[in-house]
Amino acid sequence: MNRSRRWGHLSAVVLGLVGLLLANGCGRPAYGRLDRRDADAPPYTDTQLLRMLLPRAAVPVRLSRQAEYLLPNETAATYFGDAESALRAMAELERVQGAAVDYRLPSQPASNEPVLAVSSTVSWYRQEAGARAVMQQGMVEPLMPLLRLHAGEIRLQTVAEESRAFRGYREGEDADHVAYLIVFRRANLIGSVVVVVPARNDDGGRLALKLARRQAALLGRP
């Protein structure tokens, strides 16, 4: 199997993580109740969300777009063992809709290939409080096993209003591939970028940071 294709639909799982964030696997949000007095943030259409993803021109030239799709709560919940609890948690966060795009190498990567895959996601929350809750310390880490990722938080420059960055490897590929995940927030929108690179060409997260900034500039645009 083409090893770069093993990362297919990675963005769907990342988007589910960013939209879900279950507490201890029991469906109770770890951040407590949202303040329902907050005003609803501006709404977005499906077309607008798709435009907030990384465009083809932003990613390395040899990568091709494999999939671009919407990811509503009902679909995101299917990536978790308890879909019912997942839906309840997303409802508590008031996640409305999401979208994702995957870019991958079309063929077996060459030995000097600088990047193997890029995924870009966006999630829209009805209130900014729901998006802020996603960024809280300890909200992403417990769900890394769902990605089969072993990752630790790293320090990178802040993207958008706030961001968190992780570096790690995927089970079964620790000697070959390194993955960078950057999750960032602008108002009531959460974006994320995943970049997978060969370990021998590890860039320390520079490409992931560049792409995260590129996508962050698109968040909230009409």
Model confidence pLDDT, tens digit, residues 18-42: 544 433 333 444 445 555 556 666 7
Q: What is the mean pLDDT of each run of 10 residues along the chain (222 residues)?
A: 48 51 39 56 90 97 92 83 81 90 84 87 91 75 63 91 88 75 93 91 95 97 80
Q: What is the fold of 3-216?
A: Protein Transport Mog1p; Chain A (3.40.1000)
pLDDT at 65: 94
Return the biggest CA–CA distance within the chain: 55
User: pLDDT value at position 93?
Assistant: 85
The pLDDT, as a whole number, for residue 43 is 87
Q: Per-domain residue ranges for the chain?
A: 3-216
Entry pTM: 0.84
If one counts every other C-beta atom within 10 angstroms of the C-beta of residue 35, the result is 8
Q: What are the pLDDT digits (tens) for 118-134?
A: 999 999 999 998 888 88
* Long-range contacts (CB closer than 8 Å, 24 or more residues apart) made by 199-204: 199/169, 199/175, 201/112, 201/113, 201/114, 201/115, 202/178, 203/114
For residue 210, the model assigns a pLDDT of: 98
For residue 144, the model assigns a pLDDT of: 64
